[in-house]
Each structure stands twice: as structure tokens, then as C-alpha cells.
Amino acid sequence: MTNLLKRGTTYEEVYGNFKWNIPEFYNIADDVCDRWAADPARVALVYENAQKMPRTYTFAEVRRLANQLANTLTGWGLTRGDRVTLLLAQDPECAISHVACWKAGMVSGPCSVLFGGDAITYRLNDCGAKVLVTDMANYPKVAALRKDCPRLERVLVVDGEPEGAQNWWKAIEGASADFTNVRTRADDIAWISYTSGTTGMPKGSVQPHRMMLGHMPSLEFIYDFFPQAGDTLWSPADWAWMAGLMDVLMPGWFHGCKVVATAMKGFEPEEAYRILDQHGVTLALLTPTMLKLMRTVQNPLERYQLKLRAVLSGGESVGAGLHEWALNELKISINEGFGQTECNVILGNNGKVFPVKPGSLGKSTPGTVCAIIDDAGNILPPGEEGHIACKRPHPVMLLEYLNKPEATRDKFIGEWLITGDVGHMDEDGYFWFHGRGDDVITSSGYRIGPGEIEDALLKHPAVQMAAAIGVPDPVRTEIIKAFLILKPGFEGSEALAEELRDFVRQRVARHEVPRLIEFVTSLPMTTTGKIMRRELRELEKQRRAAANG
């Protein structure tokens, strides 16, 4: 195993010793598959089906199947640059299909099984997909949208053969197991990921082959100098999202490590412990939401043997409470990381080389220059709030937004890519997240990030989950509203709401106290466990419109 990162005892040493070396020609498939396939016993994937029966795939098997699919696609007349959409969850065929596309110089398109027909249709037509790979559970959506996707030529189904589609396994059965990977340039397109978008339709983030190399120093750093002997990776995060695909699956395969995948639908904390134990997982990506749910399981270490040595978390702030729990209960430190589809894992923590400040995003990862900038691109001093930005060029950055030159232009201020997130850097170089640019609440002249309010609410013994948003107010521009899920045994009441306001008032500034509190049984979330505050704002807008009749 060859680390891109040299180990060190201080952040300055690790950061200072790293230099980028991006070749002109580079194909991800060479690194994540072929270079490990010579060892017939080397395990790439352990997949648990819905019945929890495990099936093991070696790198040699992944290469054989990916070669067969690459030959099948080219035999159908697809050529370099053609798009193949993967409407699958953590299925082995999903991972293999990505590799096959990259081998053939084609472009894969991860697509979440949670999407409805309109969302899938938009993505298929926007990228011009010629082939779609899915499963029987999602095929009815595909059958219904075929007429609206004129460029879609074929549909492959991994676990059946419904009318209008071919079976994935049967389609590749007679194909040759030999394939010479296309000599792609590092800047050639490997895949297109669609961002959820805060305004307008989702944007296709065009991701080059070099992005694989762009990820690795950051993940080696955050996963405590991964790889180490016996490293096994797992996350419930769907491979349709960057967190699952490029923070777990492909980095694991880049270093020839075993990755665990499951057919688990939704997140079950007890199941998470079982998977960690049964498969000897050493490295995991678990969002703060997942960790909060795992915290509700009583005495896990009395029933489960954990080999975890590092956990990457992000998407929401990991508060001091979760850090403390992980140290005391799981005997590990949580390394928070930060990034986005367009520019992934650019900030992070490694508790071995500098102290973790709970709630902080950490520091610029090796090879990355991050700063807090203003609207004109000026670097702001420590303590001042502004855009969290990353300096270009950087191999982990998108090439462009597909078909959206204006959005591509607006993503940058001069030499800085702006993440759309707001925060500050402290005197020690740690970055702190205040909120999405569009999550920031503007009240009585203050700009307020929801993270601090939610963290305060979560410290109350009655609160299991919290989301804070701004709702329109004629006097203050916006007032703060909190949506809360209570722990079992607690009932929502005005008395409890008042108690919570007092509780928060003691912990944050007075203008950050929620004036409105609503007790709910669930919150809208992405598959990677991020609370979708945008949906809560939309809900409030609809309610107010209805009330004003």
C-alpha cells in the first residue's frame, strides 16, 4: 500500500511534507481495481443482502465483471464520453458499473433510489444518459418515464428482467473478461453528481478522474493515516452521494481495502453496532445524526466487540456532547470533516496530530488552502464571519456545472471556490461552520447560523434532535423557529418550550433564542443524514400562505 501522505507528529509537519503530483493521463479504474486484481484472494467487497446473507467479491472478480460490462457497453455502440446513470443503492453492481464506465472512458451518473420520477427524468435528460442501471424495486419509476427520455436507449436491471429491460448479469454473460482501459486524461470526465441545489433545478457537478487523487490525502489524514493493516471501511451513506462513493467506497478500493456494503434501508443503530462488530470495521463514516441515534443504544460495548480506530463525521456540527460520548463509550475520537460535491473533504481533523476542538471543522487538509473571504475575495482575519472558500487549482474541484456556465462562474470569486457555507477561522487556524449561506438566519440585524442554537438545544435532556430555521417576520426580518424531536418519556408542552428557551438563553446570545418551538416526530433528511432545513422553511412558507388565505 502506498500512502500519498507522509506520517508525522504535528499538523505542520504533515501539511508541509505534502506536494501534489497529478499525471497528465490518469484513469481511476487502474487504481481502484486493476492494480489489486493480480492477488486472487484480495477481498474488495462484502455485501449483505436484505436477508443479511454476506457475499464476498474479490478485486479479481470486480475486474472480470467490470471488463465484461465495459465490453458489453462498447459492443452496443457506446463510446468514450457517453453517459450511464446508476439508479441503485449500495449494490455490488453499482460499484462494478462505475468501474466499468471509467475503464471505457464513459461517464457514470450516481442517482439516488429515493428520487421520484420527475427528479430522475430531469437528471437523465440533463446529462443525456444512454443507459440506465437499476433494480426491480425502482423499475416501475423507470418504465413510467421512458417516453420522456428520448436519448435513453437501454435499461439494465440487476435482479430481474421485466418487460422493456435486460438483466444486468445476462447482458454481460458472454462478454470477454479482457479489456484494455481507455487512456483518459486526468481532466477527462469520470462521473457527474447532481447537487441538491438551493435555488432552481439541481446542478450536475462534472467530476474529473483526477478527483480520485484529490480526495486521498484528505481521507488518509482524517482516517488517521489510513491505510493500516486490516483496515475495513463501512458507512450507511448511500453510494449515490459523494460521502458514500468518494469518502468510503472508492478510497477503500484505492488502497486495496475491504469495504462493507448492506441492503439496510434507513438507519438502525442496533444494526450499525452489529455490522461494525461482525465485519471488523476499523474505519467508518457516520453523520452526527447517526451518532446521536447510536448514543441511544444502552451499553453497546457489553454486547459488541468493536475494532473502530477512526470515525469521519460531517454534514452537521458534531457537538461537544457527541465527542465526549464517543471518547467515553466507544473509546475513539470523532474526526470531523468538511466538503461538498463540488470540492470534497477540504477541511478536517486528526486527533493524533492536533487537539480536536469539538464542533470545529478542523484545518485545511494537506494540499488544500482554505480561507474565510468576503464578497470581494479578500481574506478575512480570524474571528470574522465570511465565505468558507478553497483556493484553486485543486485536483478535488469540479470541472464545471453541466450546461450551466453562469452557475460555474458564480461558484468562484477570483481564485477562490466558494462553498456556499458561512463560518469563521479562529486564531489557531481551526474553521467553524455557522450555516449554509441560505441557512443563515437574519434577525434584528444579526446573521445567525443554526448550528449553535441546535447544539444548545441538544444539551437539554429532553431533546433528541433539533433543527433551527428563520421564518419571515415584519419587524425583525426573521425570527428563529426550532423543530424538536423529544426523547422517549418526554411530552411536548408550552411549559417545556419555555424551559427550553430559558435553557438556550443561558448558553447562547439572547438574539439566538428560538421564539417559536414546534415538537415533531420526524425531520426531513437526506440519505446521508443531513437535516434539510430548506424543506422546513418551505413548510413554514406554505403554512403562512394558507393562514393568510
Q: What local confidence, expressed as pLDDT, does residue 528 receive?
A: 67
Q: Which residues contact 39 (CB under 8 A, 6 or more apart)?
A: 59, 60
Q: What local confidence, expressed as pLDDT, does residue 179 receive?
A: 98
Percent of the chain as helix, strand, coil, to the nearest 5: 30, 25, 45
- Asked, for residue 450, whether it belongs to a domain, the answer is yes
Count of Cβ atoms closer than 10 Å to residue 267 Cβ: 18
Alpha helices in 128-198 (DSSP H): 139-145, 168-172
Q: What local confidence, expressed as pLDDT, does residue 199 receive?
A: 44
CA 542 – CA 523 distance, rounded (Å): 17
Q: What local confidence, expressed as pLDDT, does residue 287 receive?
A: 86
The angle, 0 to 180 degrees and rounded to 10, between the axes of the packed helices 288-295 and 269-278 is: 90
- Strand ranges (E), 290-415: 310-313, 334-340, 343-348, 363-364, 370-373, 386-391, 400-401, 412-413
Helix (H, G, I), strand (E, B) or coil at 201: coil
Euclidean distance between the first and the last CA atom of the chain, given in angstroms as a whole number = 65
Count of Cβ atoms closer than 10 Å to residue 182 Cβ: 17
Contact 251, 227 (CB under 8 A): no
Q: What local confidence, expressed as pLDDT, does residue 141 receive?
A: 92
Q: What local confidence, expressed as pLDDT, does residue 366 receive?
A: 97
- What's this model's pTM, rounded to 2 decimal places? 0.83
Contact 83, 106 (CB under 8 A): yes
Q: Which residues contact 498 (CB under 8 A, 6 or more apart)?
A: none
Residue range of the domain that includes 71: 28-39+56-184
Q: Which of 505, 514, 509 is nearest to 536 (CA)?
A: 514
- Asked, for residue 420, whether it belongs to a domain, the answer is no
Q: What local confidence, expressed as pLDDT, does residue 527 receive?
A: 67
CA 378 – CA 144 distance, rounded (Å): 50
Contact 343, 394 (CB under 8 A): yes
- Asked, for residue 155, whether it belongs to a domain, the answer is yes
CA 433 – CA 313 distance, rounded (Å): 14
Q: Which residues contact 484 (CB under 8 A, 6 or more apart)?
A: 457, 463, 465, 466, 492, 500, 517, 518, 519, 520
Q: What kind and span of H or E run contains 45?
A: strand 43-48
For cell 449500495, what's the residue? Answer: 90
For cell 424495486, what's the residue? Answer: 137
CA 418 – CA 490 distance, rounded (Å): 42
Take residue 111 and report the three cell numbers written for it: 442517482
Helix (H, G, I), strand (E, B) or coil at 144: helix
For the chain, list residues with pLDDT below 70: 1, 196-200, 316, 444-447, 475, 509, 527-528
CATH number at residue 168: 3.40.50.980
CB-count exposure of residue 354 (10 Å: 0-12, 13-18, 19+): middle
Q: What local confidence, expressed as pLDDT, does residue 445 receive?
A: 59
- Asked, for residue 507, whether it belongs to a domain, the answer is yes
Q: Backbone dihedral region of 351: left (phi > 0), alpha (psi from -120 to 50 degrees) or beta?
A: alpha
Take residue 227 and report the three cell numbers written for it: 491505510
Number of domains comprising the chain? 2
Rounded to an integer, what is the distance from CA 531 to the centroid of its chain?
13
Contact 115, 163 (CB under 8 A): no
- Asked, for residue 268, whether it belongs to a domain, the answer is no
Q: What local confidence, expressed as pLDDT, does residue 317 receive?
A: 72
- Asked, for residue 296, whether it belongs to a domain, the answer is no
Q: Backbone dihedral region of 149: left (phi > 0), alpha (psi from -120 to 50 degrees) or beta?
A: beta
- Asked, for residue 370, whether it belongs to a domain, the answer is no
CA 546 – CA 549 distance, rounded (Å): 5
- Asked, for residue 357, whether it belongs to a domain, the answer is no
Q: Label the pairing between strands 477-486 and 463-473.
A: antiparallel
Contact 45, 62 (CB under 8 A): yes
Q: Which of 69, 80, 50 is nearest to 168 (CA)?
A: 69
Helix (H, G, I), strand (E, B) or coil at 36: helix
CATH number at residue 537: 3.30.300.30
Contact 44, 58 (CB under 8 A): yes
Among 184, 215, 241, which residue terminates a domain?
A: 184
Q: Which residues contact 25 (CB under 8 A, 6 or more apart)?
A: 183, 184, 185, 186
Q: Which of 507, 353, 322, 338 is nearest to 432 (CA)?
A: 338
> Using one digit for the tens of pLDDT, what is the confidence trace for 188-218?
999 999 985 444 578 999 999 999 999 999 9
For cell 461494525, what's the residue? Answer: 276
Q: Which of 41, 38, 117, 131 is nearest to 77 (CA)?
A: 131
Q: Which of 282, 284, 323, 328 is nearest to 306 (CA)?
A: 282
Contact 395, 22 (CB under 8 A): yes
Q: What local confidence, expressed as pLDDT, does residue 1 receive?
A: 52
Q: What local confidence, expressed as pLDDT, does residue 424 receive?
A: 96
Q: Which residues pair with 391 in a beta bridge?
A: 416
Task: Residue count of the chain, please give it.
Answer: 549
CA 486 – CA 492 distance, rounded (Å): 8
Q: What local confidence, expressed as pLDDT, does residue 531 receive?
A: 87
Among 184, 214, 240, which residue terminates a domain?
A: 184
Among 184, 199, 221, which residue terminates a domain?
A: 184
What average pLDDT is seen over the chain? Answer: 92
Provide the percentage of residues in the chain whose pLDDT is more than 90: 76
Q: What local confidence, expressed as pLDDT, does residue 289 receive?
A: 81
